[in-house]
Amino acid sequence: MRIRIYKGRILSFESPSTVNEYRYMVVREDGRILELSNEIPVRKGEVVDYSDYLILPGFIDTHIHLPQFYQRAKINNSLLDWLEKYIFPAEMKFSDSEFARKASKEFFAELLRNGTTTAVVYSSPHKEATEIAFQEAEKSGIRAVIGQVLMDRNGPEELLITPEKATKDIREVASRWHGSDDRLFYAVTPRFAVSCTMELMKRAAQTAKELDLYIQTHLSEQVGEIEVVKQLFPDIPTYTEVYDRAGLLSEKTIVAHAIHLSDYERELLAKRGTKIAHCPSSNFFLHSGVMNLRKQEKFELKISLGSDVAAGPFLSMLEVLRDAYYANAMTPRKAFYLLTMGGAKALGMEDRIGNFEVGKEADFVVLELEPLASINDDIDEILSKLMILGDERNVIATYVRGHALWPQR
Ligand SMILES: [Zn+2]
């Protein structure tokens, strides 16, 4: 088997405070890491020289909407208004397969250009467009978890589905793609409690459980949204309990935002092992509020980061890191840990990706630091510069499983 030796300043985030540094990473053709060292490796192979560059574990975006890709920066400070005005019409366009294909292709290429190696993606409410999203994700080489958005009320007729049809669509697409190449996975994706009946959510949860699929949805993003949920489910005390009654909260569930929670809700999420995708850029953009990281961590909730395009304006997770820092003061080490290992843990993939260890799969980003910093600067200074000033212009190459996916060759 062919072997490649990557040479560069290689950083791996072991914990929110520990960074390991290496000079060489030896990768087998199948993408496995064979060796990490500071000395010239014993194994022989083709040397890929990134001596002047930083090599970091691939960025993991645990919350992003494919059909909203072209809707960034449409300002509005009411989530429900913004959905109706810009997002529902944009998602309707995905009934056109040709359009869906073009958008999906551009979307995954753009993620790779930004250094994102794994993305957790909401498709549109169309089965066909979701199928196309999987096909284009497969071709691009990216790692992805994708799901068809489900809604059966409070939206335009064209975007609604019946619980029966939803179950059928999930089964059909998941049977083809869940676990494909051990790189693509299916997520059951009820949009949020405002647009789903209890019956739809229950059947979605049941199907996810049967087929061992991921689940993703939105939780407690804005105060106005929470009030609507209260009106729709008057017998259930909290938003989080609505999902719990439906059976949607599990260890394979990622909820986005989770900003306005009571401690009781935090405790419940922690008990179910549910993960939180923190999307600070989106929260600032829609004026949703600021998630309190310290409180979430007090309940040992697992946090990862999401761009939430298009409520979040940036595909670059480096820009999302800056906003994460503005939302909650944290060290750059911790921010990069949340971005890499935090994402891997949200997906239960920490044994395979998230940092560099022998036996793991080589997903990584090569970054140019000039003119922000110089390659020999202190680690914390470099990370701080990247966190506050970095964006996709710093990314010079993106690799998934040892394959260079960007720039395309
Ligand atoms: Zn979202």
What DSSP string describes 113-168? Answer: HTTEEEEEEE--S-HHHHHHHHHHHHHHT-EEEEE-EE--SSS-GGG---HHHHHH
**How many Å lie between the centroid of ligand 1 and the Cα of residue 63?**
6
**How many Å lie between the centroid of ligand 1 and the Cα of residue 308?**
5
**How many Å lie between the centroid of ligand 1 and the Cα of residue 209?**
22
For residue 30, give the 3-state DSSP assignment: coil
Mean pLDDT of 181-190: 98
Q: What is the pLDDT of residues 48-62, one digit of tens each?
A: 999 999 999 999 999
The contacts of residue 100 (CB under 8 Å, 6+ apart) are 67, 94, 124, 126, 128, 129, 132, 133
pTM of the predicted structure, to 2 decimals: 0.98
pLDDT at 366 over 80: yes
Identify the helix (H) or strand (E) that includes residue 177.
Answer: helix 163-177
User: Which CATH code of 3.30.70.270, 3.40.50.150, 3.20.20.140, 3.40.50.300 fits the domain covering 59-315?
Assistant: 3.20.20.140
User: Which CATH code of 2.30.30.60, 2.30.40.10, 3.40.190.10, 3.40.50.1980 fits the domain covering 3-57+352-406?
Assistant: 2.30.40.10
Per-residue confidence (pLDDT) for residue 90, from 0 to 100: 96
Q: What is the pLDDT of residues 198-214, one digit of tens each?
A: 999 999 999 999 999 99
**How many Å lie between the centroid of ligand 1 and the Cα of residue 316?**
16
What's the whole-number average pLDDT of the chain? 97
* CA distances from residue 356 to 187, 345, 361 in whole angstroms, order as listed: 26, 14, 8
Q: What is the pLDDT of residues 116-168, one digit of tens each?
A: 999 999 999 999 999 999 999 999 999 999 999 999 999 999 999 999 999 99
**Under 8 Å between Cβ of 365 and 60:** no
**How many Å lie between the centroid of ligand 1 and the Cα of residue 39?**
44
What's the pLDDT band for 1 if we cut at 50, 70, 90? confident
pLDDT at 409 over 70: no
Q: What is the pLDDT of residues 87-121, one digit of tens each?
A: 999 999 999 999 999 999 999 999 999 999 999 99
**Under 8 Å between Cβ of 362 and 117:** no
Q: What is the pLDDT of residues 303-351, one digit of tens each?
A: 999 999 999 999 999 999 999 999 999 999 999 999 999 999 999 999 9
**Under 8 Å between Cβ of 305 and 338:** yes
Radius of gyration of the chain from its Cα atoms, rounded to whole angstroms: 21
Mean pLDDT of 242-256: 98
Question: φ, ψ for residue 35 (rounded to 5)?
Answer: -160, 145
* CA distances from residue 167 to 36, 197, 391 in whole angstroms, order as listed: 45, 14, 39
What are the extents of the domains in the chain?
3-57+352-406, 59-315
**How many Å lie between the centroid of ligand 1 and the Cα of residue 311?**
7
| Cα separation, 142 vs 83, whole angstroms | 28
Question: φ, ψ for residue 96 (rounded to 5)?
Answer: -90, 110
Pairing of β 149-150 and β 33-37: unpaired
Question: 24 has which bridge partners?
Answer: 7, 37
**How many Å lie between the centroid of ligand 1 and the Cα of residue 257?**
8
